[in-house]
Amino acid sequence: MRTITLLGFFAAVLLLAIPARGEDKWKEIENKSFSFSVPPSFKKTGARGRDSFVEEYVAAGIKVIFDYGINSNDFRDWPKDTRFEDLKIDGKAARLGTAKRELHAGLPYSTQVRFKLEKGMALSMSAACKSEKEVDLARKIFETIAFKAK
């Protein structure tokens, strides 16, 4: 009986590890300040910022955009019922917000992570999502952010 229990346990661990290995196939997006990864289905759009570094990546049911600069979104315009969480990503303090807020037509959920950086700079990465499933995917993307050493 103990052998069957151990085999079941190891089978469950193996099954949980398979999706994590699949993430190795994600595309790494790099720039001079930071990097992050997205699943291979994501495509870069032509979005650009006026006064900061902005890029957008889209896939079915989700749009992810980042804004790196002095005017990146700081949650001031987010709804009062936004759920906030303070966390660390790549060793840096960040604030994560999630709300039922339609940033883009047909995408009623929003989530964003924001980092306060040096010299008044900040990085905000947000996602407009079709469902909570895409909100979870956005969080996985946010967790891949890695800052370059200066």
Residue 9 has pLDDT above 50, yes or no: no
At 102 the pLDDT is 86
Query: Where are the domains positioned within the chain?
Result: 26-147
At 16 the pLDDT is 43
Mean pLDDT (whole number) for 71-77: 93
At 50 the pLDDT is 84
Mean pLDDT (whole number) for 39-51: 92
3 state SS of 138? helix
CB 57 within 8 A of CB 38: yes
Residue 21 has pLDDT above 50, yes or no: no
At 19 the pLDDT is 47
At 61 the pLDDT is 97
The CATH H-level superfamily of 26-147 is Mog1/PsbP, alpha/beta/alpha sandwich (3.40.1000.10)
Residue 138 has pLDDT above 70, yes or no: yes
Enumerate residues 6+ apart whose C-beta is below 8 A from 133: 61
Structure tokens at 145: 């952010």
One DSSP character per residue, 22-52 reads HGGGSEEEE-SSEEEEE-TT-EE-----SSS
Structure tokens at 77: 């315009």
Mean pLDDT (whole number) for 52-57: 95
Mean pLDDT (whole number) for 81-109: 94
93, 100, 58, 95: which is closest to 78 by C-alpha?
100
Q: pLDDT of 29-42, one tens digit each? A: 999 999 999 999 99
Phi first, then psi, for residue 106 (nearest 5°) are 85, 0
At 15 the pLDDT is 44
Mean pLDDT (whole number) for 83-108: 94
